[in-house]
Chains A and B, each alone.
Chain A
Amino acid sequence: MDMTALLLSRIQFAFTITFHIIFPSFTIGLAAWLTVLEALCLATGRPVYRVIFEFWLKIFGVAFGLGVVSGIVMAFQFGTNWSVLSKMSGPIQGPLLMYETFTAFMLEASFFGVLIFGRSRVPPWFYLFSTAMVALGTTFSAFWIMVNNSWMQVPSGYVMENGAFVPNDWTKILFNSVVWSRFPHMLLASYLTGAFCVAATGAWYVLRKEYHAEARIMLRMGLGLAAVLMPIQLLFGHLVGGYVNTYQPSKMAAIEGRWNDEKPGSEVLFAWPDVKNRRNLFAITLPPPFGSLIDSDSLTAGEKGLNSIPPENWPPVVIPFFSFRIMVGCGLVMLGLAWLGSYLSYKHRLAYNRPLLWLTFLSFPLPFIAIITGWFTAEVGRQPWVVYGVLRTADAMTPFLTAREATISLAIFCSVYAFIFLFGTFYIYRLIRIGPVRKLIEAPHLAVPNRPMSLADEAPIQEPSHVGAGE
C-alpha cells in the first residue's frame, strides 16, 4: 500500500466531488424554479415569466453542462482509485448508482435537449412537461446519491459473504431515518441555493436600476421561498444531527469538540480544538444540559467524548468542528436575510433599502459554502472509515495504484477543472450581467396571440454580444 497514493487519491476524490456538488446543488433548485416559471407563464399568460425563464435557462444550460461532465467522472472514480471498495460494496453501491443513472440521467439528458433546443418543435404542454421531467430527474439523482452515501455513513441491510457486502434487505437500505432526514436536507439546500442565487440576481438589478419588473419578481420569489424553507431546513439539519448522534459517536464528538464523556453534556459554541493535548482553547461554552438538549433532545442524556474512543478511530477533529460551524453560521445569516428581506418586500420597502439589497446581492456564495462545508462535516467526520465502522478508507484503495499515477491524474484533474470552472463561472457572470433579453419572445399560447410584448418604461434592451445555445 502506497501511502502517498492513498493521500493523493483522497485529495483527488475530495477535489472532484467538491467541484461536482457545486453544480447539481445549483441546478436541482434551478430546474424546479424553471418548472414553476414555465407553469406560471402558461397559467397567467404573462410574458414576464417567459423572459425570466429564458434568462435562467441560459444560466441553467451552462451550470447543467458543468454538472454533467464533472458527474461522469464520479461514475468511474470509485473503480479507478477505490477498487477494493468497489469490489466489496459493488453489490450494494453499484445497484444504487445504477438506479440513479437509469432513473435520473437519461431523463435529464433527453429532456434537457428539448428544453434548450426544442421550444419551437414541441407544443407548450410538452415543453412544460420536459421542464418538469428535467427537474424530476435532478431530484431522483439527489435521492439515489443520498441513499448511497447514507449507506456508507450507516451501513445496514447486508451480510458479509466472501469479503463482500451482500444485500439481504433492500427496504432497510432504502427506507431508514438516515436517508429520509438527509435527502430532504440536501434537497432543501439545493432549493435554497437556487432561491438565493435568484434573489441575489434580482437585488443586483434593483441596485443597478435595471430590469425592474423581472428583478422584483426574482427578489420576491427568491427571498419568499427562502423565508419559508430556511426554518424547515434548520429542522431537518437538527434531524440529521440526530442520526449522527445515534450512529456515529466519533463524528458527533468531533463536531461538538467534546473530549470527555458528559452527562448531561455542555455545548461548545466556539473554540480552537487542540487535538494534541485533547482540550479546547479559547472555548465559549454553554453549560449543561444544552449539549444534551441539542444532540439528544434530552435534559439528562449522556454524551460521548473523544477520550472514550480509540484515537485511531478519530476523524481529523478540526475539519468537522469548523466546517459544521461555518455551515450553521451561513444558515443563520440566510435565515435572517430571508426573513428581513421578505418582511420589507411585503411592506414594499425593500427596493429602497440599499444596505439590505447589497447584503442580498452578496449572499449568493452562502448556500454554496453551506453545502460544501456540510458535506465536509459528513465526509471528513466519517473518517477514518469509508464505510462507517466496517471498512477503513486506507484499506479501500486500489492496491496497485502508484503515487506517480495518482500525481499525474490529480494534476490533470486540477488543471482541467480550474480551466473549465474559470470560464464557466465567467460565462455565467456575463450572462447575469447582460441580463434578461426581452425581444424575440412571443407571448405564450394562452396570451393574446401575435402581439409583441410591450417594452415601455424600461431601460433600453441590451442585446447580448454573443448569443448562446439557449437562444
Chain B
Amino acid sequence: MVMFWVSLLAISILLYVLLDGVDLGVGLLFGLTNGEARRSEMLSAVAPIWDGNETWLVVTAVILWGAFPLVYANLLPAFYLPLIVMLLGLILRGVAFEFRYKTQRLRWIWDVSFAGGSLIATFIQGLTVGALVEGLQFTNGEYSGGAVGWLTPFAVLCGIGLCLGYALLGACWLVRKCEAEVRDVARRQIPVLAVGVLAFLVLVFAYALAEHLPILHRWIDRPYLFVFPAIGAVAAIVLALSILNHNDYWPFYMVALIFMSAFGTLALSFWPYMIPSVITVDQAAAPQSSLTFMFWGCGVVVFPLMLLYTVISYSVFRGKVRETAGHH
C-alpha cells in the first residue's frame, strides 16, 4: 500500500513537471517575446491546458498530506517563504490568462505578471529540489534550519537550471503547437537552451563531487542508476538530430524523456528516504486505515479517471494552434 502511494506520488510529480513545465516554460519565453500576435499565439498554445497542468501540483500536495503527513508537515514549513512566494507567482500568472484579454491599455501589467510569475514559480521549484538534494538541517526529526535554511549556492544553481529546463520544454511545445514565426523562433532557442541545460547538469555533478553530497553514495551503491543518464544522453542525441531535420514533433518527446531520466535518477537516489537522511518512506506513511480508504477510491477508481480527463482535454486541443485560432 505504501509502495502504491509512493508510485502515485512519483507519477504526479513527474506529470506536474512535464505538463506545468510546458506552460511555465512558455511563460518564461513569453517574457522574451515582443509583439502581440506572437504573444497571443504562444498563450493559445497553453491556455486550454494550463489549469489542468497546475492541478497536478495540488495533487502532489494532497498525496503528500494524505499518504505521507509527516513529510507534508515538515517540508512545507521548512520552505515557508519560498513556497508562499511561489504560490503568489502561480496566482499572478494564472489570472493573467484571463485578465490580459480584458484590457488593452494595462495589458502590460498582466504580461509582466505572466512572465514574472512563471519565472518566480520555476526558480523556486528548482531551488526547493536543490535544497532537498543538498540536505536540510533537522534536529530530532524536526526542521531546525531557520527561515532561510534553504538558501545555498547549490539551491540557487538548481533554480536557474530548472528555468533553463522548463524554457527548453516550453520551446519544444511551441515548435509542436505553433507555426511560422513562433515556431521558428522557438526552434532557434532550443539549441541554446539545451546547451544551457547540459552545462547546468555538468556543474551540478561537479558540485556534488566537490562537496561530497551524501546523495552521491547512492550512486556508488547502485551502479544501475547510470542507466538513466544513458537514456538522457540518447534522448539528447535524438533531440539534436530532430532539430537539424526541422521535425516539429520529436523535440518535445525527447526533452520530456530527458526530464524523465533526470527525475528517475533523482527519485531513485532519494530512496528509501523522502527527506534525504531524515525521514524514510515508511516512517512518513499515514496509518493503514487512511491509505486503504484512499486506495479504493482515489487510487483505483479516480486516478485513472483523472488521467482520462487529461487525455480528453489534450486530444480535444490536439494539433497546431493556428487551426483553432479565433477564440480570442
A binds B: yes
Chain A residues in contact with chain B, CB under 8 A? 61-62, 65-66, 68-73, 75-76, 78-81, 83-84, 86-87, 90-95, 97-103, 105-114, 116-118, 120-122, 161, 164, 166-168, 170, 398-402, 404-405, 408-409, 412-413, 416, 420, 423-424, 427, 430-431, 465-469, 471
Q: Once the chains bind, are A98 and B298 in contact (CB under 8 Å)?
A: yes
What are the 5 tightest A-B residue pairs by CB atom distance, in nearest-first order?
Answer: A90-B69, A79-B76, A94-B66, A113-B48, A94-B65
A94 to B63, CA, bound (A): 8
Contact of A465 with B84 in the complex, beta carbons under 8 Å? no
Task: Return the chain B residue nearest A166 by Cβ.
Answer: B287
Q: Closest chain A residue to B88 by CB distance?
A: A416
> Which of the candidate stretches B54-62, B181-189, B211-219, B231-239 sits at the interface with the other chain?
B54-62
Contact A84 B73 (CB under 8 A): yes
- In the complex where A109-B55, A166-B289 touch, is A114 in contact with B66 (Cβ < 8 A)? no
Task: Please state if B103 and A466 are interface contacts (CB–CB under 8 Å).
Answer: yes
Contacts of A404 in B (CB 8 A): 147
B92 and A91 contacting across the interface, CB-CB below 8 Å:
no
With both beta carbons as reference points, the residue of chain A lying nearest to B79 in the complex is identified as: A80
Given A114-B48, A469-B97, 9 new contacts (CB under 8 A): A86-B65, A91-B66, A99-B294, A102-B298, A166-B289, A401-B77, A405-B81, A466-B104, A467-B101
**Contact A98 B76, beta carbon cutoff 8 Å:** no
Measured in the bound complex, the distance between the Cα atoms of B328 and A416 in whole Å is 27
Q: Identify B80's interface contact among A168, A409, A430, A466, CB under 8 A.
A: A409
Contact B88 A94 (CB under 8 A): no
Whose C-beta in chain B lies nearest to the C-beta of A398? B77
- Complex-state Cα separation, A468 to B137, whole angstroms: 48
- Is the beta-carbon distance between B297 and A75 smaller than 8 angstroms? no
Would A95 and B294 count as touching, CB distance under 8 A? Answer: yes
Q: A72 contacts which chain B residues (CB < 8 A)? A: 54, 57-58, 87, 90-91
Asked whether B59 lies within 8 Å of A106 as measured between CB atoms, the reply is: yes
How far apart sit A311 and B48, CA to CA, in the bound complex (Å)? 53
Give the residue name and chain of the B residue nearest to A115 (CB): B48
Cross-chain contact B306 with A102 (CB below 8 angstroms): yes
Q: Which residues of B contact A (CB under 8 A)?
A: 47-49, 51-52, 54-55, 57-59, 61-67, 69-70, 72-77, 80-81, 83-85, 87-88, 90-92, 94-95, 97-99, 101-104, 142-144, 147, 286-287, 289-290, 293-294, 297-298, 302-303, 305-306, 309-310, 312-313, 316-317, 324, 326-328
Bound Cα distance from A118 to B328, whole angstroms: 12
B61:A121 contact, CB within 8 angstroms: no
Contacts of A107 in B (CB 8 A): 309
Q: Which residue of A lies closest to B53 (CB)?
A: A109
Q: Which of A92, A113, A413 has the most CB of B within 10 A?
A: A113
- Evaluate contact between A103 and B94: CB separation under 8 angstroms: no
Cβ contacts A to B, 19 pairs, < 8 Å: A72-B54, A73-B87, A79-B61, A79-B65, A79-B72, A98-B66, A99-B294, A102-B298, A106-B306, A106-B309, A117-B324, A161-B287, A402-B147, A405-B80, A409-B84, A420-B91, A420-B95, A469-B327, A471-B327
Which of B49, B62, B87, B303 has a CB less than 8 Å from the CB of A94? B62
Least distance between B216 CB and chain A CB atoms (Å) = 29
Let me know if A469 and B70 touch, CB within 8 A: no
Residues of B near A471 (CB, < 8 A) are: 327-328
| Complex Cα–Cα for A90 and B55 (A) | 20
Interface of A is mostly: helix
- Closest chain B CB from A167 CB (angstroms): 5
Q: A68-B94, A106-B306 are in contact. Are A91 and B83 (CB under 8 A)?
A: no
Task: Collect the chain A residues with CB atoms within 8 Å of residue B98's CB.
Answer: 61-62, 65, 427, 468-469
Q: Are B52 and A113 in contact (CB under 8 A)?
A: yes
Cβ of A65: which chain B residues have Cβ within 8 Å of it?
94-95, 97-99
A72-B57, A110-B309, A400-B144 as given contacts; A90 in contact with B90, CB under 8 Å:
no
Which residue of chain B lies nearest to A428 when distances are taken between CB atoms in the complex?
Answer: B102
CB distance from B327 to the nearest CB of A (A): 5
CA distance A98 to B9 in the complex (A): 12
Known: A98-B62, A98-B66, A401-B77. A113 touches B104 (CB 8 A): no
Tell me, rounded to whole Å, the shortest Cβ–Cβ distance linking B87 to chain A.
5
What's the Cα separation between A413 and B88 when bound, in Å?
Answer: 8
CA distance A72 to B95 in the complex (A): 13
**Complexed CA–CA distance, A178 and B304 (Å):** 31
Q: Given A65-B95, A467-B101, A467-B328 in contact, is the A92-B290 Cβ separation under 8 Å?
A: yes
CB distance from B324 to the nearest CB of A (A): 7
Instruction: Kindly identify which residue among A69, A97, A105, A167 contacts B94, using a CB–CB cutoff of 8 Å.
Output: A69
- Cβ-defined contact, A87 with B312, below 8 A: no
> Are B293 and A95 within 8 A (Cβ)?
yes
A78 and B65 in contact, given A91-B287, A408-B81 (Cβ under 8 angstroms): yes
A286 to B144, CA, bound (A): 57
- The residue in chain A whose Cβ has the minimal distance to the Cβ of B313 is A110
- Residue of B61, B85, B101, B317 near A113 (CB, 8 A) is B317
- List the B residue with the shortest CB-CB distance to A84: B73
> Is B62 touching A423 in the complex (CB atoms < 8 A)?
no
Which single member of A66, A80, A420, A468 contacts B77 (CB below 8 Å)?
A80
Give the docked Cα–Cα distance between A236 and B232 (Å): 59
CB contacts (< 8 Å) of A431 on chain B: these are: 102
Residues of B contacting A81 in the complex (Cβ-Cβ under 8 angstroms): 77
Q: Are B69 and A94 in contact (CB under 8 A)?
A: yes
Question: A133: shortest Cβ distance to chain B, in Å?
Answer: 8
Q: How far is the CB of A105 from chain B (nearest CB, A)?
A: 5
Contact of A105 among B55, B84, B305 (CB under 8 A): B55
A73 → B minimal CB distance (Å): 5
Known: A72-B57, A118-B316. A103 touches B302 (CB 8 A): yes
Question: Which one of A87, A101, A408, A467 has the greatest number of beta carbons of chain B within 10 Å?
Answer: A101
> Cβ of B324 and Cβ of A120 under 8 Å apart?
yes
Q: How far is the CA of A469 from the CA of B81 in the complex (A)?
A: 33
A118 to B69, CA, bound (A): 38
Complexed CA–CA distance, A90 and B62 (Å): 10
Q: What distance in Å separates the Cβ of B112 from its nearest Cβ neighbour in chain A?
A: 12
In the bound assembly, the distance between CA atoms of A87 and B65 in angstroms comes to: 8
Q: List the B side residues contacting A73 at CB < 8 Å.
A: 87, 91
- A83 / chain B contacts, CB cutoff of 8 Å: 73-74, 76-77
Whether B286 contacts A94 by the Cβ 8 Å rule is yes
Shortest A315–chain B CB gap in Å is 26
Known: A401-B77, A469-B101. A69 touches B90 (CB 8 A): yes
Q: Tell me, in angstroms, the Cα distance from A72 to B55 when the chains sit together.
A: 8
Task: Enumerate chain B residues within 8 angstroms of A430, measured Cβ to Cβ.
Answer: 102
A95 and B87 in contact, given A420-B92, A427-B103 (Cβ under 8 angstroms): no
Q: CB distance B77 to A469 under 8 Å?
A: no
- Give chain A residues whose Cβ lies under 8 Å from the Cβ of B83: 76, 80
B12 to nearest A CB, angstroms?
Answer: 10
Contacting residues, chain A, for B73 (C-beta < 8 A): 79, 83-84, 86-87, 90
User: Which of these, A94, A105, A122, contacts B58 with CB under 8 Å?
Assistant: A105
B317 in contact with A118 (CB, 8 Å): yes
Q: How far apart are A11's CB and chain B's nearest CB, in angstroms?
A: 14
